[in-house]
Amino acid sequence: MSGNVVDDPRLVAEREGLGGLVALYRTRLAQGELGQVPVVIGLIVIWGVFWWASHGAFFNPLNLVNLALQMAAVGTIAVGVVFVLLLGEIDLTVGIVSGLCAAVMAVLNIKMGLPGPLAVVLGLAVGAAIGFLHGIWITRFGIPSFVVTLAGLIGWAGTLLFVLGSTGTLNLPDPFIVGLAGTFFTGITAWILGAIFVAYIAGSGYVARRGRKAAGLRAEPLFFIGFRVVVVALGTAAAIFIFGEDRGVPLSLIFLVGLIVLMDYVARRTRFGRMVFAVGGNAEAARRAGIPIRRVRVAVFVLASTFAAWGGILAASRLLAVNQSAGSGDVLLNAIASAVIGGTSLFGGRGSVWSALLGILVIQSISNGMDLLSFQPAVKQMITGSVLLAAVTVDAVARRGRAQAGRV
């Protein structure tokens, strides 16, 4: 249609096929828009190295199912961390809150005799209440989130010890709670779940492309969308087949992927998601645009603590117990590292919920592979820290590239 801005080639500037794909990523690279491509390439390299070093044991069905179980809990916590980072904030309590809420669930179920489902819901409610307290304290008194959550890290650790009391460890016999991480899908059920996931990837890619074209923005070539769907379909099929050689697809992995799909929709397709990006990108501009900054911040901290609680419950279900060390150790580091390594910016306003999945895949693959090769804990921590530093450096370089591109 002549004169329509949507048809202006200077705005759409799209070329189909492989040439369009190369041109698109050349432009993104020049502007510092690296996206998640380096993460995917790094993940492939990591898998290749551990496959070779372990003489194929890394891709053993038993090991891959264990890998999926290990990543579900921290990956769930990382989803909440992504939203906090999108605001340009930090939450240092997600690890200990996960342990505390799991302990609350265990005490309610074992010592007070509440049914498993009700105990789980109340554990999540405690997580939401903690997040609400954090958000109110940060927004009401203007205290940096780092300070508030650092105090929370200490305080909630003491609360965990108080909740567990002299018992120290509580075993979880409830079949509902144990089934959260102990249920597996095989056969036609697993393949149907895989088909639904692939269909979502294809549909969301097409809808996003159509929306960008309608707005007169540059859209991904159809070739790239189709290529991505094929890769995801092949990867999903391979995972289902390999998982089926052991126990099957873990329910906890389904929970993680389902949560990511839901929150990705919230982040990209809802008013709340757009407000989160706006506040993280420029809080003052968001305030002048009429966005309720305080309420957005409170809501994000509620989400982060609720997802931390859910992650802690999944971890307790996998371990069949809750003890005084629940949520401690490297849980906090791995949750934050997963979000950052996956591509979410520490500076706020940029990132994707899918970064939680990619990041936890990287972190847990490294940890799992080093366990297979019998690395010492000290070496594991040094390597994980180096990977996190590399991810933060890439984020800083990309941010500088975007700034320079904006000045040109």
Burial class (CB in 10 A: 0-12, 13-18, 19+), 206: middle
Beta bridge partners of 103: none
pLDDT for the residue 406: 55
Phi, psi angles (nearest 5°) of residue 32: 80, 10
CB neighbour list of residue 200: distance below 8 Å, 6 or more residues apart: 261
pLDDT for the residue 160: 93
pLDDT for the residue 346: 79
pLDDT for the residue 7: 38
CA distance 290 to 302: 22
153-158 long-range Cβ contacts below 8 angstroms, 24+ apart? 153/92, 153/93, 153/95, 153/96, 153/332, 156/93, 156/96, 156/97, 156/100, 156/130, 157/96, 157/328
pLDDT for the residue 398: 65
Return the half-sphere exposure (C-beta side, CA atoms, 13 A cut-off) of residue 160.
Answer: 29
Q: What is the pTM of this model?
A: 0.87
Q: Where are the domains of the chain?
A: 67-183+272-390
Residue with tokens 């995801």: 232
| Amino acid in position 36 | Q
pLDDT for the residue 4: 40
Phi-psi region of 235 (alpha: psi -120 to 50; beta: other; left: phi over 0): alpha
Beta bridge partners of 314: none
| Amino acid in position 375 | F
The CA-atom distances, in angstroms, between 366 and each of 43, 72, 98, 168, 334 are: 9, 15, 23, 31, 11
pLDDT for the residue 89: 92
The CA-atom distances, in angstroms, between 136 and each of 129, 160, 337 are: 11, 22, 26
pLDDT for the residue 25: 58
153-165 as b/e, with b when 16 or more CB fall inside 10 Å?
A: beebbebbeebbe
Beta bridge partners of 169: 323
pLDDT for the residue 78: 95
Could you read off the pLDDT tens digit of each residue along the chain, which spans 408 residues? 444 433 333 333 444 445 555 665 555 555 545 566 777 888 888 889 889 988 888 889 999 999 999 899 999 999 999 999 999 899 999 999 999 999 999 999 999 999 999 999 999 999 999 999 999 999 999 999 999 999 999 999 999 999 998 777 889 999 999 999 999 999 999 999 999 999 999 988 888 888 877 777 777 777 778 888 998 999 999 999 999 999 999 999 999 999 999 999 999 889 999 999 999 988 889 889 899 999 999 999 999 999 999 999 999 999 999 998 888 878 898 899 888 888 888 777 788 898 889 889 988 888 888 888 888 877 877 887 787 777 777 666 766 665 565 544
pLDDT for the residue 75: 94
Report the DSSP pairing between strands 321-323 and 249-250: unpaired
pLDDT for the residue 376: 81
pLDDT for the residue 26: 59
Q: Cβ–Cβ contacts within 10 Å for residue 342, how many?
A: 27
